[in-house]
Amino acid sequence: MGKSKISANSVSGHRCRTIAVALCIIFYFECTPNSARNLSFCPKSLLLSLLIQRNATNYLSSQTNFQRIIPLIPYVQVIRHIFFFTILCTYLAACQDDDSIDFIPVYDVPEDYQEIVDLFVDEAAVRGIELTIDNLIVLEDPDLPFDLCGSCNASDLNIKVQRIVSIHPRRCWPNNLQKEALLFHELGHCILGRSHTSALLPNGDFKSLMVPSNIGVYSPCVYQFGGAADDCNFTFKRTYYIDELFDPDMPIPDWAR
């Protein structure tokens, strides 16, 4: 559950910004006033070529003409700074657009799962959290590994990416509360941005519904092998686990002390 698969589109903006900053830094430091070897590739040489109405490369090929450039260098320094910040800001703005303009979230939840998504929103509201879910696809994916009941593609809320909860078609839940726990766990990733935790409560029970590969933390009995009838009934723990889902700092419940 909750296998994080960040899409390539989601990192393009970060990569774009990194490349832009790197290019600008190289551009800036390579184009120092004394760096005649790269001068023809620098903004200042292009400006100089405009100023003196001549081709920059030809101009620099002449030592005499290069001497004539030197008095212009203080002005070129100012222009260089303006160029640098203009180009940097332009690149960064373009990268930002890459993330925000191209992304249009889709909401597509089959009827079979919609009821649980609605319940997730209701449980949040009961706890004072207003959730509007407009970026969510729930689908059954036969390509999921067999031992995975479900998966969310991205749990980092800072990344603008289509949120997709994939469910294995074998439908591994033996009862509706385990189906709910599976969906709530995946929505914990996709909507709340929560990560896995295998922390334990004092009695040895898992602390959170965000434990990997366990959708039975508040399940009713599935199989009963002797013992008291309620020994395998954990439904009384449901309130705590949903409280903790929306607030990881929830105090330890009495039943776990």
Chain residues binding Zn ion by CB under 5 A are: 1-2
Output the CA–CA distances (angstroms, integers) from residue 61 to 13, 38, 45, 146, 152, in the order listed: 40, 12, 12, 68, 60
Smaller CB separation from Zn ion, 10 or 151: 151
Smaller CB separation from Zn ion, 16 or 165: 165
Smaller CB separation from Zn ion, 72 or 148: 148
From the CB of 8, what's the least distance to Zn ion, in Å?
22
* Token duo for residue 81: 């700074």
Rounded distance between C-alpha atoms, residue 26 and residue 186, angstroms: 43
Rounded distance between C-alpha atoms, residue 106 and residue 110, angstroms: 13
Output the CA–CA distances (angstroms, integers) from residue 236 to 116, 173, 176, 218, 253, in the order listed: 19, 19, 15, 7, 11
Smaller CB separation from Zn ion, 2 or 43: 2
Output the CA–CA distances (angstroms, integers) from residue 37 to 45, 65, 67, 240, in the order listed: 11, 15, 15, 69
Rounded distance between C-alpha atoms, residue 239 and residue 237, angstroms: 6
From the CB of 227, what's the least distance to Zn ion, in Å?
30
From the CB of 35, what's the least distance to Zn ion, in Å?
53
From the CB of 189, what's the least distance to Zn ion, in Å?
6
The closest residue (CB) to Zn ion is: 2
* Token duo for residue 102: 């191209």
Smaller CB separation from Zn ion, 48 or 177: 177
From the CB of 207, what's the least distance to Zn ion, in Å?
14
